[in-house]
Amino acid sequence: MARESDMLRGVAVGAGSAILALGVGEFLGVALADASLVASVGDVAVDLAPGWLVRRTIGILGVAQKPVLLTGIVCVAVVLGGWVGSRGTSGRIALGLAGLLGALAVLRSGAGYYLSGTHPDDMDDRSVDDLAFEIVSDVREGIDGTGVRAGVIGEIGCTYPWLPNEKKSLRAAVAAQVETGAPLMVHPGRDPMSPVEIAEIVDSEGGDLSRTTICHIDRTCTDRSWLADMAATGCYLEYDLFGNESSWYPPNPAVDMPSDAERMDVILWHFEHGLEGQVLLSHDIATKHRLHAYGGLGYDHLVTNVVPRLRRRGLSEADVRTLIVDNPARIFAFTTGQ
């Protein structure tokens, strides 16, 4: 009888601990990163689920799909909490730590400023040193006093022609890269000259081009001689619009957006010329229609669809590892700053 009572008490404590962990996770996520822990888990669950299953549940539940999913996540967490709680004190401690880790999982960010349209009102009055100090603080101390440190400087926004505050922002980002050893990621303007000028600024300001990523190469320029010249600077070239199969590119109608097949042609070209160590792949997903839940290809598109096609085109397992493991691990690691 006493044993059953202890087990029931453990179930109750475990379930309560799960509820507390979820509450703490929600509070920290919203307070520090404007992100819901449960919603973030739900987004991951939807994105990892097979597309047919997501569409089926939407067909059955309609607009109620998301509330049902979030409710299910909470229920599963509480039930698991009760089960873990019945395992004893160590299980309840593990549950609490899992909740804390879950909260921390939503707290990831970069440092620095994006395009001029997103800059604060007083950007004209801020100096390069002021901006660099802020970025360094975000990397070393934490963003806005949260203690959550930025893991990358960027995505630093640049238009073309370049606006003065964007150029100032990039110079500050380079100064912060030099001081912290953090990787630098730059959004170029929609013109082939923009990445060239960005590389020149990074180099002239003493930055490390081998620790610098130029984003959105596939919507900027895929001319092979231009790519060879950019690779010669030492920077990483990021093809990050995989899954965007429309050639129509409204921000710059003069550019014909390549298909995934054409992107893979460029990737293979990098291997043929020994430049594969400077290639990064991504999706740049920023709209709902790109997610599984809304009929898109989702965050797993690269590993589920693109990688098998690259293998069929002749890439070995070592080549694939270079693209999706080794290159990201190398660029996103910190070096020793000044």
Question: For residue range 131-159, what is the model confidence (pLDDT) as tens digits?
Answer: 999 999 999 999 888 788 899 999 999 99
| Residue written as token pair 């893991």 | 151
Average the pLDDT over 301-328 and give the result: 95
> Which parts of 141-288 fold into alpha helices (H)?
164-180, 193-204, 224-232, 260-272
Do 122 and 191 share a domain, yes or no? yes
Highest mean pLDDT (candidates 2-11, 28-37, 196-205): 196-205
* pLDDT tier for residue 109 given thresholds of 50, 70 and 90: low
How confident is the model over 157-197, as pLDDT tens digits?
Answer: 999 999 999 999 999 999 999 999 999 999 999 999 999 99
My answer on whether 170 and 307 are in the same domain is yes
φ/ψ (deg, to 5) at 126: -85, 140
Indicate the pLDDT class of residue 72, thresholds 50, 70 and 90: confident
pLDDT score recorded for residue 336: 78
Percentage above 90 pLDDT, the chain: 57
Asked if residue 167 is part of any domain, the answer here is: yes
Do 31 and 151 reside in the same domain of the chain? no
| CA distances (Å), origin 211, targets 60, 63, 174, 297, 335 | 48, 44, 10, 30, 9
User: Which domain covers residue 220, as residue numbers?
Assistant: 110-332
Higher pLDDT, 241 or 83: 241
Specify if 338 maps to a domain: no
Total tally of structural domains belonging to the chain:
2
pLDDT of 105 strictly over 50: no
Higher pLDDT residue, 232 or 287? 232
CB 54 within 8 A of CB 46: yes
Crossing angle, helix 128-140 and helix 164-180, to 10 degrees?
Answer: 40
* One domain, residues 296 and 163: yes
